[in-house]
Structure 1
């Protein structure tokens, strides 16, 4: 897979693109967990692990409309959302006024060292270029307490090779988004490079109108 993005321009492109599609995206996906019992079960198990280990908050990175943040809150986890798109953050605040959301990027978190008990990044690492992935996971490790957990999910098309898709239109809006469709093995390798211990991997096949498989990885910062 040839990676066309080797600097931080991808952050601005992702922010601008999701600003353009935020209202339509939120209308289409007000609760992306609603029809996916496996995702809900995995998030519930993750919340139980975090609660048992620490009372430190969870950062939901790439929080979008905020439905994952809200579900973690309902599961008794102190949580806040971070998204690169100001319009997404505004819509999440409107939908969930009792929760905290702010604009930021997962590649450079505005947080002190070892302050988070966990991180979720569901379908959001797909816009991080491969050249930046280990650095992003290293940033995750920096802000997590020892023993803190990371739950990732992402789409992929092949178990044998990484792929790259570039979209210039979504929901009738002009955008410029790169989708890095990496195998679970590739993502696991980058987690290992960043110092994480992978604890579980779950893969499910496409459902309904979905065209790509989904992978879920649970990893832990060593004690």
Structure 2
């Protein structure tokens, strides 16, 4: 089966920028208070429910995966970029990282206690988000928790040519309204439990939305 072109673009782009990305993106401990609070809430939810391991999908260099592990979460990371996975393994040799795509996860049904998709779904074309959210729902155990966080907008389509230290990239970003993402999650079968929208501030150039959702038991 031929790989969708957007996945190829994302993989190649993040392989190119991986080192610069790792240097520029702050660890979770340096995020703004609300972002830290949402991650802390997610960590407590999955740790308390204890339904299974937690997958950090689109984990990049593993900083957030490690942050969850430090809070007692059985976390592992998956990323489309082999270079990102290589850097994550070097930085956190005690954690598990693998190359993979959230469009077709190599994970059994109902296996995960939690999924974190942290700034990792906005490169997905809107028409394919139901596929991604369907994989989230398939692999989560009943009673498992999802945290989805990323940039949002008024159906904006961004096509940068350079990023993270002026390196060439070919990915696109799709910034959808928060209510659209919330609707897709509920249509997939998730029960939304919390939503936080943050206006541009704290050094961010764009609006961010975070969702906590649960797969009904």
Is the pair's TM-score, using the shorter chain for normalization, greater than 0.5?
yes
Q: Which residue pairs with 1:18 in the alignment? A: 14
Q: Greater CA deviation, 47-56 or 29-38? A: 29-38
Distance 1:92 1:10 in 2: 23
Please state if 1:132 is matched with 2:125: no
**How has the CA–CA distance of structure 1 residues 85 and 103 changed in structure 2, closer, same or farther, with 3 Å as cutoff?**
same
Distance 1:55 1:150 in 2: 12
8 Å CA contact 2:18, 2:84 repeated in 1: yes
Match of 1:187 among 178, 181, 192: 181
How much does 1:209 deviate?
3.2
Structure 1, residues 16-65: CA drift from partner, whole Å, max 9, x if none? Answer: 00000000010111515513221111111111111221241000001011
Distance 2:95 2:12 in 1: 24
Tell me how many residue pairs correspond in the alignment.
214
TM-score (norm 1): 0.92
Distance 2:65 2:31 in 1: 17
Q: CA RMSD in A?
A: 1.3
Q: Which residue pairs with 2:77 in the alignment? A: 81
| Structure-to-structure mapping, 1:73-222, within 5 angstroms | 73-157=69-153, 161-170=154-163, 171-222=165-216
How much does 1:118 deviate?
0.4
Distance 1:208 1:38 in 2: 11
3-state SS of 2:22 partner: helix
Structure 1, residues 79-133: CA drift from partner, whole Å, max 9, x if none? Answer: 1000000001111111111111110011110011111000000100101110110
3-state SS of 2:110 partner: coil
Q: Which residue pairs with 2:66 in the alignment? A: 70
8 Å CA contact 2:28, 2:67 repeated in 1: no
Q: Greater CA deviation, 94-103 or 170-179? A: 170-179
Distance 1:189 1:181 in 2: 15
8 Å CA contact 2:32, 2:202 repeated in 1: no
TM-score (norm 2): 0.95
How much does 1:208 deviate?
3.7
Q: Greater CA deviation, 143-152 or 23-32? A: 23-32
**How has the CA–CA distance of structure 1 residues 204 and 21 changed in structure 2, closer, same or farther, with 3 Å as cutoff?**
same
